[in-house]
Homo-oligomer: A and B are copies of this chain.
Amino acid sequence: MKPHFADLLENSAPYSIFELFKQTRQYSETLIKNLSAEDCQLQSMPDASPVKWHLAHTSWFFEIFLLIPHLPDYKIFNAHFQVLFNSYYNGIGKQFARSLRGLLAKPCLQEILSYRHHVDNHIEDLHSHFAEIPLHISEILMLGIHHEKQHQELLLMDIKHAFSLNPMGPIYSSTLKNAPRNNTASPLEWIDFETGIFEMGAKDTGFSFDNERPRHDQLIQSFRLASRLVTNKEYLAFIDDQGYENPQYWLSDGWSNIKQNDRNAPLYWIKKDDSWYEFTLAGPEPLDLNKPVCHVNYYEANAFAAWARKRLPTEVEWEYASQSENIFGNSGAPEHLHPQAAQGDGLLQMTTEVWQWTGSAYMPYLGFKPFTDVAGEYNGKFMVNQIVLRGGSCLTPSQHLRSSYRNFYYPHQSWMMSGIRLVEDDYACRN
């Protein structure tokens, strides 16, 4: 089915959609202003892509789904790019092997920036071409904008991973390095939520992805949600209590996973001379105990919860809780490219610091229909073997989140900004 938005800009007022497009496109280029062409070339694992590939692929998306079908007389920039920058759309045609993206020195960064500007200019042409933009075109445009916002977060995740492997400790952002820190974290509170029926999923108005729909009723049983995220201090207590040596806390696949990978701490944690450090976008930093734990995989989140005699929230519970107040939006400020400690009262850090692992597998809602014609492979074909994360992170670009937003990763992955929020109830512990 096609996205159907009564008001595509509900999430993005007061901008027009073309202003939002322009702003989004510019933000992508802002993200690379401290990166060299060599930095933009790096692909440190098959899950990640080079920065320059993100810049090209997001442009490809507009070219393939918007300019080629809808702008009369549009000429493609380079025929090779149809294959090179197709991520996974079998419906469009062949794809260059994902794991080899880092080997594309050509087209060079400069040519990719030209490609971006070529696409930008023709979107302007499209704007001029229509007296009034038809709904089916503005829908695709909006999808392309949110697609690019997703890749902005991926771009930061991927460059962080690549830099983390370099013994020289590269710094992505010196603004972040010099940002002030909080010396405390708000105490943990348990917030009660009552039994009931609530409407889950995206509303018909405003943009949403196909996987958030259809809106439908859900039964809720009462639960108590943590007011803030699990901190590094709390996670360290799990490590110090031999959490990684004790199979009773771990799912069977998780135990195999950490043993096979000799894993004994979150990704990016480094122990040196008996002190803990973590690699950040400001390079290696001493571990800040007040900050939320980040870069844990699902197995670790689950094991931590079992050790703490709590559990992870379901995505139903998380969405229910998130509707309780106006919590959406994160700063996107450059000094906030790493999670910060919880400050204040109430339900904190829902969308601003790290994505939160839920206890829900990523499966379609009953009645799910993928986007048609355009991007039918966008979400649906990934609905197996992955786990839902909810919330948002300090790397998520502004104007991108909703209460119904479903993020998803494989349980072994942890290079995204993934953390933990707990639920307490009578039966939460595994033993």
In the complex the two chains form, is B251's CB within 8 Å of A383's CB?
yes
Residues from 370 to 393 in A contacting B, C-beta threshold 8 Å: 370, 372, 376, 380-385, 387
In the complex the two chains form, is A168's CB within 8 Å of B90's CB?
no
Chain B residues lying within 8 Å of A253, measured Cβ to Cβ, are 382, 384-385
> Which of B37, B219, B359, B411 is A385 in contact with, Cβ under 8 Å?
B411
Residues from 232 to 263 in A contacting B, C-beta threshold 8 Å: 247-248, 250-255
Q: Does A427 contact B (CB under 8 A)?
A: yes
Rounded to whole Å, the gap between the CB of A198 and the closest CB of chain B is 11
Q: Does A60 contact B (CB under 8 A)?
A: no
Rounded to whole Å, the gap between the CB of A275 and the closest CB of chain B is 21
> Which of B42, B103, B381 is A44 in contact with, Cβ under 8 Å?
B103
Task: Please tell me how many copies of the chain the complex holds.
Answer: 4
Q: Residue on B with the closest CB to A246?
A: B90
In the complex the two chains form, is B170's CB within 8 Å of A105's CB?
yes
In the complex the two chains form, is B167's CB within 8 Å of A381's CB?
no
Rounded to whole Å, the gap between the CB of A256 and the closest CB of chain B is 11
In the complex the two chains form, is A359's CB within 8 Å of B364's CB?
yes
Chain B residues lying within 8 Å of A385, measured Cβ to Cβ, are 253, 385, 411
Rounded to whole Å, the gap between the CB of A169 and the closest CB of chain B is 9
Most buried by B among A90, A216, A302, A372: A90
In the complex the two chains form, is A162's CB within 8 Å of B105's CB?
yes
In the complex the two chains form, is A39's CB within 8 Å of B105's CB?
yes
Q: Does A187 contact B (CB under 8 A)?
A: no
Q: Does A12 contact B (CB under 8 A)?
A: no
**Interface of chain A: mostly helix, strand, loop or mixed:** loop
Stretch at the interface among A106-114, A178-186, A343-351: A106-114
In the complex the two chains form, is A88's CB within 8 Å of B252's CB?
yes
Q: Does A190 contact B (CB under 8 A)?
A: no
Contact residue range for chain A? 35 or more
Chain B residues lying within 8 Å of A370, measured Cβ to Cβ, are 430-431
Chain B residues lying within 8 Å of A66, measured Cβ to Cβ, are none
Q: Residue on B with the closest CB to A250?
A: B381
Most buried by B among A38, A250, A381, A383: A38
In the complex the two chains form, is A38's CB within 8 Å of B105's CB?
yes
Most buried by B among A44, A84, A105, A384: A105
Q: List 23 A-B contacts (CB under 8 A).
A: A37-B38, A38-B41, A80-B167, A83-B167, A84-B167, A96-B167, A103-B162, A106-B168, A106-B170, A197-B219, A248-B376, A250-B381, A251-B383, A253-B382, A254-B384, A255-B381, A299-B384, A302-B384, A361-B363, A367-B425, A368-B427, A372-B431, A385-B411
Per CB-CB distance, the 6 closest pairs between chain A and chain B, nearest first, are: A361-B361, A90-B247, A38-B105, A252-B381, A39-B105, A367-B427
Given contacts A44-B103, A88-B252, 10 further A-B contacts (CB under 8 A): A36-B37, A38-B41, A42-B102, A90-B248, A100-B165, A252-B382, A253-B384, A361-B361, A367-B426, A385-B411
